[in-house]
Structure formats: structure tokens, C-alpha cells
Amino acid sequence: MTKEKMSGKQRVLSGVQPSGSLTIGNYLGALRQWVEEQYRYESYFCVVDMHAITVPHDPAQLAEKTREVAALYIACGIDPDEATIFVQSHIPAHAELAWILNCVTPVGWLNRMTQFKEKAARQQQESVSTGLFDYPVLMAADILLYQAHRVPVGDDQRQHLELTRDIAQRFNHLYGQTFVIPEAMIRGTAARVMGLDDPTKKMSKSETDSQYHAVYLLDSPDLARKKIMRAKTDSGKDIRFSDDPERAGVNNLLQIFEVLSGMESREAIEAHFEGKGYGHLKSEVADLVLETLAPIQERYRKIQNEPGYLDSILARGAERAGAIAEKTLREVQKRVGFLPRQ
């Protein structure tokens, strides 16, 4: 009997690219949800290193960042005894399933992906890789291999999740019921944390133009506070939630405050800041962010100081994840008509 059947729990899968240092955007949009929901689901969290090579990258840094991201999963509160933590490239089935899914995914579907267009626009046209274009199919493979019911992500992954569902449905239609159709889990607040230096742009771990763009999970308290105190706001005074693009900076700070303070309503938060200035808002947000980062950094340092610990988690994770992935892959190979190896 599979673990899922024994536990009766639905499955969750999600991942982060080791393409930079994790930001509070990654934490608020994704990791915090993973931690909160990990005991309700049978959880799989992977470090998607194969996705990280779809844009130019530094090979000397990739392995290091892969370990850093995995350690941060645990430092943020993922329980490695409960959830399966693994590295995508350790499981060859991801690439193998991606190939098969490529063959059921119309090019027109990939042409619609806005994240590809944005990322491609930042590079020389001739150097944009086929891998970057195909990135969403590999992501579909990540999810479908584990028959995940739920995928907790930030708002920027919504379109990729829709595509994953379309690919799964098409495969099921062509070859018979094979894949669970996954659903995105996207929070209402802080699902798209904006850049502190420019609140019209999503906060991103791969942004390198400005040192005041993002708070990283491993930033020192002083640096994190400085970045928040410098966050771009507007010339107004009112501290209110708002969809007005002019007021995106304040709205962004308020959303971070909402999630981290746990205050029950937006009215209560607005009342809390009544008559106070933006400087006050920033300083309260900084206090909450620092309170959040302190235990994460402490656990991170402990993990770093325990030789072999992380490697053993990743080895066990690869074993558990590999068993499930292999099973799905065999089923898919059979359905498309590949001759089984004797």
C-alpha cells in the first residue's frame, strides 16, 4: 500500500529555484504556507536546480545555493521527518517525464506564458535557451510525477499551474486517466510581495540592480531594517490598503504587516496606524520582519554547523521521492506505448 493510502492524506508538492538568495517574498508567498500546511498533507518540497540552469548561471555557485535553499526549507520550519525534501536533479524521472509531456504540449500553449516573455526580454534574443521556453513543461512534470493534489505557490506561478492542469487533462484524455489534476494554493495576502525599491515590480531573488530591492532571509538585522526603512512609498500620508498603483509601496508594507502581525482584520490594522506616519509603519514592519528572521537564521546556522545532516536529509528525500516518481513514470511509459525493459 502506498504511504498516501495509508495516511489518507492528499499530496502537496512545491519548489524553489536555487537561482539566488531566498527573499521574504519567497517566504510569505510560498514557504510560510508550506510550513503551516505540512501536517495536513503528505508533502514534497524540492529544490529545482534543473530550472535554475534555464538562464545563464554560475556553475560554481549552483550546488552551494542548492544546499542553502534546502537548509532554509528546514530553517523556516519544514519538518524533515514529516515532509520529503529533495533535489530535482537527483531524480532522473523529472527530465524523462518532461520529455513525454513535451510531446503532448502544443507550442501555442507555451507561447502564451508571460513569465517566459518577461525573462526572455531581459536577455539577448539569440541567447534565450530552449530550456527557458520549455521551463513550464518541466514544472508540470515536477508536479504530476508526485500526483500532487495541491501546489502552494505565490501569485506569479498561477499561469504555470493552469498550464500544468491543461497538460494533465490532455494526457489523461489521450492516454487514459493517469494524472491527478492539481490545484494551486495561493494566499490572498502577500501572494505577490513587491520590490522595496520599486513597488511596481515583483520582489525577486535574482534581481541584482539595486541593493535595496529585497530583504533576504539571511540578511543581518541591521541591513534588513535599513532596506525596509528605505522602502519607496508616495507623497501621501494615509496608511490604508489600496489597489491604486500610486500607493503600491504602502500597500506592500501593509500586506507584509498583515501576514506577520496576525492581526485579524484590515480595519483593525488601519485603525492601529491611524494618525501615524509612513516612518512608523516601516519601523513596525521592520520589527516584525526581524522577529521572523531571527529564529530562521539561528536554525540555519545550526544546520550549517552539523556536518552531514543536510546531506543525509537530501539522500533520504531522494530515496522517498524517487520511489514515487519512478512508479508514475513507469505508468506513463506504459500508457504511451514504450517497450518495457526486461
Which residues contact ligand TYM by CB under 6 A?
A: 13-17, 25-26, 28-30, 48, 51, 139, 142-143, 151, 153-154, 156-157, 160, 191-193, 202-203
Q: How many Å apart are CA 331 and CA 335, to the nearest integer? A: 6
Query: What is the number of alpha carbons within 13 Å of residue 190 lying toward its C-beta?
Result: 21
Residue 3 annotated as catalytic: no
Alpha helices, DSSP H only, in the chain? 3-7, 24-26, 32-37, 49-52, 59-75, 93-102, 107-111, 114-121, 130-145, 158-175, 221-229, 248-261, 266-272, 278-304, 309-336
50 within 8 A of 138, measured Cβ to Cβ? yes
Q: How far is the CB of 10 from ligand TYM (least distance, A)?
A: 15
Helix (H, G, I), strand (E, B) or coil at 165: helix
Q: Please report, as a single letter, which amino acid is at residue 328.
A: T
Q: How many Å apart are CA 332 and CA 340, to the nearest integer? A: 11
Q: How far is the CB of 157 from ligand TYM (least distance, A)?
A: 4
Residue 119 annotated as catalytic: yes
Closest CB to ligand TYM belongs to which residue?
Answer: 29
168 within 8 A of 66, measured Cβ to Cβ? no
Q: How far is the CB of 138 from ligand TYM (least distance, A)?
A: 7
Q: How far is the CB of 331 from ligand TYM (least distance, A)?
A: 20
Residue 155 or 272 having the CB closest to ligand TYM: 155
Sequential DSSP letters for 39-94: TTSEEEEEE-HHHHTSS---HHHHHHHHHHHHHHHHHTT--TTTSEEEEGGG-THH
Q: How many Å apart are CA 193 and CA 182, to the nearest integer? A: 24
Catalytic entry in 65, 202, 227, 282: 202
Residue 31 or 269 having the CB closest to ligand TYM: 31
Residue 51 or 247 having the CB closest to ligand TYM: 51
Catalytic entry in 119, 226, 232, 327: 119
**Nearest alpha-carbon partner for 179 in 97, 111, 107, 99:** 97
Residue 334 annotated as catalytic: no
Q: How far is the CB of 17 from ligand TYM (least distance, A)?
A: 4
Residue 151 or 254 having the CB closest to ligand TYM: 151
Residue 193 or 239 having the CB closest to ligand TYM: 193
Residue 189 or 308 having the CB closest to ligand TYM: 189
Catalytic entry in 65, 205, 227, 282: 205
Q: How far is the CB of 215 from ligand TYM (least distance, A)?
A: 11
Which positions are catalytic? 119, 202, 205
